Chains A and B, each alone.
Chain A
Amino acid sequence: MRTTIVIGAGLSGLMGALALAEAGLRPLVLAKGQGATHWTAGTVDIWGGDERSPREALQEIGALHPHHPYALIGAHAVEEAIVRFRALTEAARYPYVGGLDRNILLPTSAGALRPAALLPVTMAAGDVRLGGTMLIAGFRELRDFYPPFIAANLAAQGMAARGVYLTIPPAFRRREYNPVTFARLFDNPAFCSDIGRQLRAQRGDATRIGLPAVLGLRDPTGVVAHLQDESGAQIFEIPTLPPSVPGMRLFALFQNAIEQAGGRVQIGSEVICGDGRDRLLTTVWSEAAARRQEHRVERALLATGGVAGGGIRTDHMGMVRETALDLPVRAPANRAAWFAPRFLDPQGHAIYTAGVATDAHLRPIGTDGAVVYDNVTVAGALLAGTDTVRERSRSGVSLATGWAAGRILAEWMA
């Protein structure tokens, strides 16, 4: 039976599970449902909160925020995670490009410019520095992508950009479309060819064309190459609202790698409580039909996410709880302090810094600083102390702490 348990199947849980699987521990990933991979842009954001490069930010963070997850694991561990992640994506022929030296600015579906450290190669031609005229092309049927609006905002920032709508060939028309519907259409070469021809006709003086990030689930790099051939321009993807096709690709890629290495990913199994003694977690239970399922635990990695992911839950009395193991939580004292008056306040809302505090080995600690379980590590958005969405470090913290938590756990000796 599998006794290495990873709780959560977002980026941090998957990265941790990969580390554990590669160490031969045959991890079982238990997750309530699909994770934040399916909600987010699919880039790796190491640090975009200010004008510093990711590398600078990593080097300075220990001095500025000693409790920041990056500071806990150290810049070196972050780099190690990035190296492993890139190798993983290259092996899957869906390589991520970029690095820690500088952020690349990419257009969003609102026409803003968003910093990212690493991005799938399918987004690379969106790099704002490349210059030239940009064509933004989409489909009226896709409710989450509006080329004229995107182009207008890009133009307001000094970029030559134009927005057009393409036509879905009659043979491929549906009644209801979401990003995944389009991804499945782009998996079909006949559809790609038709769209490519439309792009060539609409291209004008544009040297690169931005499309919604729906360019196939099976072989997106192949789709991009196909569209480039047909259109004669560079093609890049722009992430859309959920469901995130780039996120789905990442999930599939991780699941495959974890299973190849002997692990198993089990979606639809929510861990609801655990039990232990002598600072060791011994059992967790997952919710199941008619009765809970018991899992014996030798070591466990907790990566259930924060408020969005479901690892942290709040109530009207101002209680803040960790949902899987009921670990101690560090959170703002009362509800009155949870929110700033402005939704887009640059400082963010205090409640989103709530989470589980850990020692330098990512083991959960209580308010007294004592380790709760020696055989448990914590990773990702569940970690206390910072709002990674405001920092634009969410996916970077998840990958890096997931990897570190997996490595630490793999080396832990009972």
Chain B
Amino acid sequence: MMIIPEDHIEQSLEASLDHCIKCNICTAACPVSAVTDLFPGPKYVGPQAQRFRHARQPSPDESVDYCSGCRVCNEVCPTGVRIAELNARARARLVAERGIPLRNRLISRSGLVGRLGAGPHAPIANALLGSKPLRMVIERTLGIAREAPLPAFSRYTFRSWFRRRRAPQIDAGTPKRQVVYFHGCSANYYEPWIGKAVVAVLEHNGFEVLLPRQRCCGLPLLSNGDFAAARRAHEENVAFLAPYALRTIPIVGASTSCTLTLKEEAPELLGMQSDTVRAVAQQTYDIFEFLRLLHMRGELRTDFRPIERTLPYHPPCQLRAHRIGRPALDVLELVPGLRLIETHAGCCGIAGTYGLKVEKYRISMDVGAPLFETVRRSGADMALCDSETCRWQISHGAGVVARHPIEILAEAYGLVT
């Protein structure tokens, strides 16, 4: 017997404002309004302002642009108001009315930037972006903060590595299990080793890893209010992925923001409700969510080597927005000797592209300060975090290496990647 109560199904994101009982829990939790006066807080610009917004009249407010989109408000809201989504749509309205600044156009196109920078010429691109005078110029002309953490381009892309490698043999006796890997821009252009670890772990567990065409998930476009471009991106990705999803082949990703976008952000914010969109969403998994599911079914290999370490683990906001708990902790608990301490320090501040912007860089560092402090105080020389931009921000702010938990898991399996 399973009962699906009707009022758990939202009629629309906007209608969720009716759940607000003004209790201020979101305001108390918001990491942005805690550090700046430019953002009055989620209740104000979310459910409260929404009652004053009119679908066919000009935007009456713009402080919503200072919402970082971290979704901490959604997480703590006891009544189910979709505050972050209300804000994202309000920002898209502003963008539709006033246009997108060149800077935002650029930084929201991570696929394009990655294609330009990654490859054999990466050292040159990296050297240029590492040059302080050039960053000053970029800050002045484009408005990208000169101190903001930009990742280094990789000399090779993950896809080129995957194409060239020799696929492993799968025992003829075992039934073939397939999985699609959605690597996203970061694993492809900046951190191919994470993609390699994902592939190694999946293959170690007997999966054939498929790599269909894909493009940027579109989250940076969504968070910069460019809904038209985000819709094109998602339509393409659905076209690439739906054939697999319709055959119930899982789609896994190690970038929590990409998987969240496929699952929910793109369909909901853009109002895309077709069967194929839904099928892709329902087949998409965060890598550790997928591994935890395997474990629940007794299908996860647990031939781990002990790792005697205690490490701080920051569950990124994007992962918390999946509402799936802490799958990395659940799985890594199985590794003997390994002890992960959840940081409980809210948000790292970067929020995708938010912290790159010159007018928001300081805010983003102030938001992250408690987390940096926690990481530093832990004494560990490494922190774990599932989201790439957060890892770059943690390294930048706390001065320690930040790695994806899948790298530790691959290490525990003894897989060299």
Contact = CB atoms under 8 A, between A and B. Distances in A.
B167 interface: no
Contacts of A309: 78
A266 B37 contact: no
Nearest to B293: A294
Interface string A108-125: 000000000000000000
Interface in A65-88: none
Contact of A1 (B23, B282, B296): B296
Contacts of B3: 273, 326
B325 A39 contact: no
Interface in A255-293: 255, 259, 264, 266-270, 272-273, 275, 285-291, 293
Interface stretch (B25-33, B111-119, B405-413): B25-33
Interface stretch (B69-77, B132-140, B195-203): B69-77
B34 interface: yes
B173 interface: no
B24 A33 contact: no
Interface stretch (B4-12, B87-95, B102-110, B385-393): B4-12
A313 to B, nearest CB: 7
B323 A287 contact: yes
B80 A32 contact: yes
B323 A39 contact: no
Given A268-B323, A290-B284, A34 B29 contact: yes
Interface residues of B, number: 46
A269 B296 contact: no
Given A176-B33, A184-B34, A269-B323, A243 B24 contact: yes
Contact of B23 (A32, A242, A290): A242
Contacts of B24: 38, 178, 242-243
A1 B29 contact: no
Contact of A270 (B34, B80, B292, B324): B80
Nearest to B75: A268
Contacts of A184: 34
B8 A272 contact: yes
Interface string A333-355: 00000000000000000000000
Contacts of A243: 23-25, 27-28
Interface string B311-349: 000000000111111100110000000000010100000
B40 A293 contact: no
Nearest to A26: B333
A273 B5 contact: yes
Contacts of B28: 38, 178-180, 243, 248
Contacts of B80: 32-33, 270
B286 to A, nearest CB: 9
Contacts of A35: 78
A43 B92 CA distance: 44
Interface in B242-292: 260, 263-264, 281-282, 284, 292
A179 B326 CA distance: 30
B25 A33 contact: yes
B1 interface: yes
B41 interface: yes
Contacts of A31: 78
B322 A310 contact: no
B76 A267 contact: yes
Contacts of A270: 8, 80, 323
Interface string A293-335: 1101000000000000110010100000101001000000000
Interface in A20-35: 28, 31-35
A1 B8 contact: no
A1 B342 CA distance: 17
Contacts of A275: 1-2
B79 interface: yes
A273 B27 contact: no
20 contacts: A1-B296, A31-B78, A32-B78, A32-B79, A33-B75, A33-B80, A39-B23, A180-B27, A242-B24, A243-B24, A264-B325, A267-B76, A269-B324, A269-B325, A272-B5, A273-B5, A286-B323, A289-B260, A293-B325, A296-B296
